[in-house]
Amino acid sequence: MRTHSTKPLGSLLIAGLLTLPSLLPAQPSAHYVPGSEGLDAATLPPPGWWLRDYNLFYNSKRLNDSQGNQIPLGFSAFTYAQVPRVLWITDTQVLGGNLGVDALLPFVYNHAEINALGYNDSTFGMGDFFAEGSWSQHSKHFDTALAFGVWAPTGDSGAPISTRAGQGFWTYMFTAGATWHVDDERKWSVSALNRYEFNMEDHDTEQIPGQAYTLEWGVSREIAKGIDIGAVGYYQQQVTPTTSPIGSIWSSRNRVAAVGPEISAFFPQWMLGVSFRYEYEFMAENRAQGQTFTLTITKKF
């Protein structure tokens, strides 16, 4: 049986609040990419400086209509995002929780094809910069986190159809989540992480993308010291219509859901955490439907 100190530190390294660049054909109105977090997603690290490196691969060969039926356009898309993120969790406490800040700058390769339109394009570039402030608390059975962050349109962007990494608009994102460590030994965990995005005007199209809600969840079990396996999933939906200067232009809102496995490991001698997850999108409406692979490496420095 492990001590209480090993499991919390391992899960803190593996888990965390994450923001990634939007995959162009997959998230039409959201900056945040669903599936970026998995097991113990709502758990932030203890005080200190942390570096996390996210490697996300997204592949799709299906574009769906508002009923979830495939549109026969000969569509395919592939994205690789490499995202370094720096976190500083301070010793300053408010209402029993630690204050923190973090920031990231993604680098993204996008490729998309639409045979029916004769479209075939690939780009590699810097995505939109993100920074946030956070509040996190840890107890024997619960980890909780709140955060507020801003996406800045620093990446190169373009009017649709475009594979450029930038979104072209500012976004304000609120985050709230909790991880429940079910038993006293903290071998079983259940987590839920909620995001809500308010988008500003897109400078390429003069439209205001609809607000977006994202839920990520995970259920995990420790199978050996420092090693956890479990099931993860996500749900994302455009909540309000996209609007333009002449009114609503997108009343059929997009949504997607996915599920898959994850394995994570923590190596205390190196203060290093590694996780790998695969998530299959089993439902998508008004957007691409595909699969996501994510490799995350976390190191304290």
Residue 213: both structure tokens together? 């809600």
Is the distance from CB of 239 to CB of 214 less than 8 angstroms?
no
Going from the C-alpha of 57 to that of each of 10, 111, 188, 276, 294, the distances in angstroms are 24, 12, 28, 11, 6
Q: What domains appear along the chain, each with residue ranges and CATH number? A: 6-239+246-269 (2.40.160)
Task: Write the pLDDT tens digit of every residue in 275-297.
Answer: 999 999 999 998 999 999 999 99
The DSSP element (H or E) to which 10 belongs, if any, is helix 6-14
Q: Where are the beta strands (DSSP E) in 115-152?
A: 119-126, 129-138, 142-152
Q: What local confidence, expressed as pLDDT, does residue 165 receive?
A: 82
* pTM metric for this prediction: 0.88
**CA 10 to CA 271: how far, in whole Å?**
9
pLDDT at 8 over 60: no
Q: Quick one: pLDDT band at residue 252, thresholds 50, 70, 90?
A: low
**CA 49 to CA 249: how far, in whole Å?**
44
